[in-house]
Amino acid sequence: MSIWVLRGLRDGVVTTRWPARPDPYADGWRGPVYGSAAGPAGLLPPCPTGAISVTAGAVRVDQGRCILCGRCVAERPDLFAWSRGATGPGTAGLARDALIVPEPPETDEAVEAARARLRARTTALRRSVHVRHVDAGSDGSEEWEIQALLGPIYDIHRLGVFFTASPRHADVLLVTGAGARGMAGPLRTTYDGMPEPKVVIAVGTDAVSGGLLSESEAVTGGVSATVPVDVWLPGSPPSPFGILNALLIAIGQLADGGKGTR
C-alpha cells in the first residue's frame, strides 16, 4: 500500500483532461494515410487492401480500408502522408464515404441535414451512457485500446460513459472485427436487444471494411452487413483518443458532429 501511495504522490494526477483541454499525445497520434490531390499520380504503390484510387486525376485514399502498413508513404512521400491527431484527419465519420480523402464536394444543406438527424437521435443520450462491446472477429488489437479506456490515463467514467454486459442496458453498441459470419447472429441479437435510441460504432478498419480479410468468405467485409452503422472509425487499431472521440460524436457531446457529417 505504501508503494502505491508514494507513486501517487510522485506522479500526481495522470488522467488526461481531454476533451476539455488539449492533450499533446492525442494531437501527435499517427492515424491513417491521406493522399494529395495535386500533381500527376504516375505509378502508384500497391496497397494490400485496395485503399488507393485515382478519381478525375486526384489520388484518393479510403481510410476505412487503410491498415497503416505505410508502404505508400515510404514509396511515394510526394503523394501520401500520415494523418495526425485523434480528432483531426483520419478520425470518425458519420458516413462510410466520409472516410475517403480528399472528400468530394458537397452542399452545406446536406451537411446540416445530417447533423440535425444526429442531434435528433442523441438528444436523450446526454448524461450516463452505457456501452456494449461485441467482438465480431477481431485480431485483438482494438480490444487493447478499448481496455485502455478503463485505466487511470483515459478514465472513460469521468465522461459519464460505462461498459455494460447486458444489451438491454446499452445505449451504444461498440463493434470490432471484420464481421465473422459465425458472429452475425449474436451481433444482430445484441443489436435487437438494445432499447431505442441506440447508436452503433464500427471500431477499426476491420469493422469498417473487413481489412485484409475483406475478400474472405469467412467474413461479411465489415459489420455494416449485419447491423446499421452510425459512426465509422478507421485505424488499425484506432487510438483510445480516437475511440473516445467517436463515442462523444455518437452521443452528441461534440457540437460539430464529427468529420464528414453526410
Q: Is 192 helix (H, G, I), strand (E, B) or coil?
A: helix
Q: Is the pLDDT of residue 14 over 80?
A: yes
What tens digit of pLDDT does each residue of 207-249 get? 999 999 998 999 999 999 999 999 999 999 999 999 999 998 8
| pTM, two decimal places | 0.87
Q: With bands split at pLDDT 50, 70 and 90, how would you rate the model's confidence at 55? A: confident
What tens digit of pLDDT does each residue of 107-157 get? 456 656 666 666 666 666 666 899 999 999 999 999 999 999 999 999 999
Q: Which residues 6+ apart lie within 8 Å of 4 measured at CB?
A: none
Name the DSSP class of 140: S
**Calpha distance 147→153 (Å, rounded):** 11
Residue 253 is predicted with a pLDDT of 57
Cell numbers 452528441 correspond to: 252
Average pLDDT along the chain: 84
Q: Report the amino acid identity of residue 19.
A: P
* Residues 133 and 190 sit within 8 Å (Cβ to Cβ): no
